[in-house]
Structure 1
């Protein structure tokens, strides 16, 4: 795939919800192979991205602290095979909600932070370490301080695991105080949010702020409210890896626009 050569334009890859450690052959009989296939697919891209971001649920939840660390270590080992070494991580609730992110931080560092790349300011928010699905006042104050240091017309991208808006709270597809984060972001005209958690592609606007969710790399989930329970969609042997994938995002910094391309784990 050809990428633009303008120095102020770039692209990155988003992967999400790998759930390393999940077992369920009716949902994904290749649970131990899908992440490795995704790593191979990204390594096989004709042009490597500027960086890669994993938007949470790196591992599948477990009550056993030793098993949690084992899964985090195994995940880290698998993704170390990526050619691109600039990789940004953030936790999902499966990684962090049971111990407030303690084990996650041992392997990947801070759960919320910022970085800048070619004229874009990136903000990683943690709305999972608090088991109430909140960002929390301390982190909101941190966000406000960071945003106050940015020009009003700054190009801002936010990465988060859960949606910041109320997509479907009945299924935990919301952030309790996400509206406060959105209110802090709203004065900036060039903000885009990329998140995971819902295991499917979804696009939503809160005012001028666009929110884009990513597919999962372990199993797809049903459309919000489409069935009584939030249960994974069964594996389709006729269409293996259906509903799974990752995306590349091409940034046009001059216009603060993002072109999203969804990619399958395995090409048919």
Structure 2
């Protein structure tokens, strides 16, 4: 079912599987209601997801405004009314560098920019550009734990690290932590998983997978209300593993081609006639009691440089 409402399009899922490509679409997932043993306090809210900002990237043919795009997104979010409850950055905050000192300088600059957000409740996840070369050492100095969980208005959020291991694995220790975290939840609890790489094998040839991601999915499958929000692939993408829906987000630096539709994984060049095409962030409206999410994809307006 598709329709338009305030730049949103909705799709309802009931136990589907497979791949759907989307551009400029939002998605809604409705899961079946079940009785609960406990009754958490539910309250509707929305949060913003930004991904793959790659602060420090330099490529005029790819994004001649690379030092402006994040600032424009921050300005856009600061003008949202009402403001989101919190903001999450799903990885690749900075662009990779072999120089540990430069890595930290970029992280410091990124953090100073992000401090301009009106919303101060900000969650961070590492990307491989941030964490794979030093197993997350510098990242933790600036942004804290590589994986964690928290609860917000009836939804249990789980942030996973599938990047600090250069082999693109979650690892046994984190899987044990995840299992213990999930054991505290009712099977009907609404769960949102935040991660950088896709947990499924989207396109391993392009490093678009997590080697032990199926182990995570297996731990999540007994729970009836799970949604996954991730980044890494620099485009909107929708995938279902049984009843679990996975949503990829656009980048704020450059788009990438759809998996397998180009000879190699390379940034799509800047279009002077359509500046900021394929770039953006999203707001996610969350309805915990209904276990429903609607996504509003936000574009970056060309406008004046900041």
Name the TM-score class by shorter chain.
Answer: over 0.9
SS of the residue 2:296 aligns to: strand
| 1:187 equivalent in alignment to 2:192 | no
TM-score, normalised via structure 1 length? 0.97
Equivalent in the alignment of 1:98: 133
Equivalent in the alignment of 1:113: 148
| 1:164 equivalent in alignment to 2:203 | no
Aligned residues: 264
SS of the residue 2:289 aligns to: coil
Mapped to 1, the partners of 2:102 and 2:196 lie a distance apart of: 22
- Higher relative contact order by CA 8 Å / sep ≥ 6: 1 or 2? 2
Mapped to 2, the partners of 1:85 and 1:50 lie a distance apart of: 9
Conserved in 1, the CA contact under 8 Å of 2:42 and 2:288? no
Equivalent in the alignment of 2:110: 75
| 1:16 equivalent in alignment to 2:51 | yes
The CA deviation at 1:61 is 0.1
The CA deviation at 1:8 is 1.2
Mapped to 2, the partners of 1:158 and 1:207 lie a distance apart of: 15
Deviations along 1:205-260, one digit per CA (max 9) or x if unpaired, are: 00000000000000000000001100000000000000000000000111211000
The CA deviation at 1:7 is 6.5
Mapped to 1, the partners of 2:292 and 2:59 lie a distance apart of: 39
Equivalent in the alignment of 1:245: 280
The CA deviation at 1:47 is 1.1
The match for 1:210 among 245, 249, 259 is: 245
Mapped to 2, the partners of 1:86 and 1:75 lie a distance apart of: 16
Mapped to 2, the partners of 1:242 and 1:252 lie a distance apart of: 30
Conserved in 1, the CA contact under 8 Å of 2:84 and 2:119? yes
| 1:46 equivalent in alignment to 2:81 | yes
The CA deviation at 1:267 is 6.4
Deviations along 1:26-50, one digit per CA (max 9) or x if unpaired, are: 0000000000000001001121000
Equivalent in the alignment of 1:134: 169
Superposition pairs of residues 29-68 of structure 1, within 5 angstroms: 29-68=64-103
TM-score, normalised via structure 2 length? 0.85
Equivalent in the alignment of 1:89: 124
Deviations along 1:72-113, one digit per CA (max 9) or x if unpaired, are: 000000000000000000100000000000000000000100
Larger radius of gyration: 2
4+ residue segments displaced more than 4 Å: none
Conserved in 1, the CA contact under 8 Å of 2:42 and 2:154? no
